[in-house]
Amino acid sequence: MEKKKLTPSYIVHHWKSLSTSQKRAVLTLAMFCAAALLIAVTLIVAISTCTCSKNRAQQTAEAVEPIPALLRPPQHAERQQAEPDPDSDGQQGEADPAVADDPDGEGDPDAEPDDMQNEDPEQTGSEYQTLKKKDRGEAVTALQERLMELGYLEIEEPTDYYGTSTAYAVSLFQRQHDLEQDGVAGAKTQALLFSKDAKHYTMFEGAEGHDVKMLQEQLVDLGYLSEDEVDRIYGEKTVEAVKAFQKRNGLTADGKAGEKTLEKMFGENAKPSKAMEEKRKAEERAAKETATAKTTPKPSTKTKTTPKTTSKTKTTPKPTKKPTATPKKDTKLEKFLKAANSKIGCEYVLGAKGPNKFDCSGFVYWCLTQAGVSTTRMDANNFSKVSRWKNITNINDLKKGDLLFFKSDKSSRVSHTGIYIGGGMMIDASSSNGKVVKRALTAYFKRNFVNARRPWE
């Protein structure tokens, strides 16, 4: 009998005629095929799932760029107290021809250098973000705080805006440390700024700039330098003038203008040169002699005569007009407050002292001179120490016309001054607003209040 092949077609049509052993064999084979098919499907699904997940992860990574390390703000733990330069004594006087940090973003439109000081973060190993004009953020605030701490920047409070004043302060720091003076805080500049090797602000031979000009002008006023030697360059003549001032005022005569020298030079007790001192004494003697001559009455040479009696008929006297009241003159305090109010809105320029541009201490100085108060041009720190003016240490004891003095959160040194006008308000030349403003004493100013001075008592 011929054997039939068990093809799928034959099995389907002759299933009933198959023997039990044949049926069992067919079922076993079918189970093996089904199992193999299930395994194959499972493997295919698993491979597809892994591939899709990998693609999705890659697409997500490309769509959302991770934040690089350079965009992280400087770590505050790295900010150590700077050690003073053994060859200097320095802080900065208020000197900068530029407009202040503008919170509204109006800055210098000049293009910034492309190389950003040629500072490669990978080569320097730094995680500092390069900062330049018009940048904003916490890193800018930290930069300003450090610059204020070292004496390169004097503004009433740190902001998050990198303006012209910040750029100028950075350039002064770069000048001090032999870096390229571009005003851009690159990785190399910031790494040094936040290190223990950062030096305090000092002027020295070879330096150039507006701050040098201010120093030279003060030396002229004190008689150590002539007017034709003011050239913005810290040359040999300026060095010799500074040494002469230091010797005369009991300081180390190293020819460098650091913190102690600047504080003394712009303070009320700065000793002028001997020649200037003699000149001032002569002027004072001449003024006293002139005042005495005006007040001493001259003796009369006229002979007294007896009035003749007349026989004229008496007439009724005409009513006399009431004398016009003489207008009361403003006191010094009133003149002072009027002067302050008249300059609200004037531009803020570091180092300026009027009549239409001011920094904070220049504004106070101009208002005092308008009121007839005799004083020299000082920075905020030295104005706060004028001993002949009454000192007020409690902010609740303020009166109109008091001079207010403030420090910053990161430094105990006085860095800002304003004029109290009552009602918790003051008028001051504000670096953050870029102009002279009338504003309230905010929580920042209240916690950083150092003292006040009252020139009127």
pLDDT in tens, 194-247: 999 999 999 999 999 989 999 999 999 999 999 999 999 999 999 999 999 999
In this structure, of 102-106, 162-166, 169-173, the range with the lowest mean pLDDT score is 102-106
**CA angle, 430 then 434 then 439, to 5°:** 40
Predicted local confidence at residue 307, as pLDDT: 56
Residue carrying the six token digits 């950083």: 448
Which has the higher per-residue pLDDT, 452 or 268? 452
Find the mean pLDDT for residues 291-302.
67
Supply φ then ψ for residue 367, to 5 degrees.
-65, -40
- Give 184-204 as a DSSP string: -B-HHHHHHHTSTTPPPP-B-
Predicted local confidence at residue 317, as pLDDT: 63
What residue segments make up the domains of the chain, in order of their start?
27-66, 76-106+121-193, 210-257, 332-454
Alpha-carbon distance 18 to 172, whole Å? 104
The top-scoring range by mean pLDDT among 78-92, 163-177, 312-326 is: 163-177
Q: What is the mean pLDDT of the chain?
A: 80
User: Where residue 106 falls among pLDDT bands split at 50, 70, 90?
Assistant: very low
Given a contact cutoff of 8 angstroms between Cβ atoms, the answer to whether 405 and 384 are in contact is: yes
Given a contact cutoff of 8 angstroms between Cβ atoms, the answer to whether 451 and 392 are in contact is: yes
Find the mean pLDDT for residues 334-363.
93
Give 175: exposed, middle or buried? Use CB within 10 Å, 0-12, 13-18, 19+: buried
pLDDT at 167 over 70: yes
CATH entry, 332-454, from 3.40.1190.20, 2.40.50.180, 3.50.50.60, 3.90.1720.10: 3.90.1720.10
Q: Establish whether domains 76-106+121-193 and 332-454 are of one fold.
A: no
Alpha-carbon distance 392 to 398, whole Å? 7
Which residues, 6+ apart, have CB-to-CB distance to 439 below 8 Å?
Answer: 425, 426, 428, 430
Query: What percentage of the chain carries pLDDT values higher than 70?
Result: 72
Amino acid at 321: K
pLDDT at 299 over 90: no
pLDDT at 94 over 80: no
Half-sphere CA count of 134, side-chain side, radius 13 A: 8
Predicted local confidence at residue 291, as pLDDT: 76
Q: What is the DSSP letter of 84?
A: P
Q: Which CATH superfamily is domain 76-106+121-193 in?
A: PGBD-like superfamily/PGBD (1.10.101.10)
Copy the structure tokens of residue 250. Answer: 């009991």
Predicted local confidence at residue 125, as pLDDT: 53
pTM exceeds cut of 0.85: no
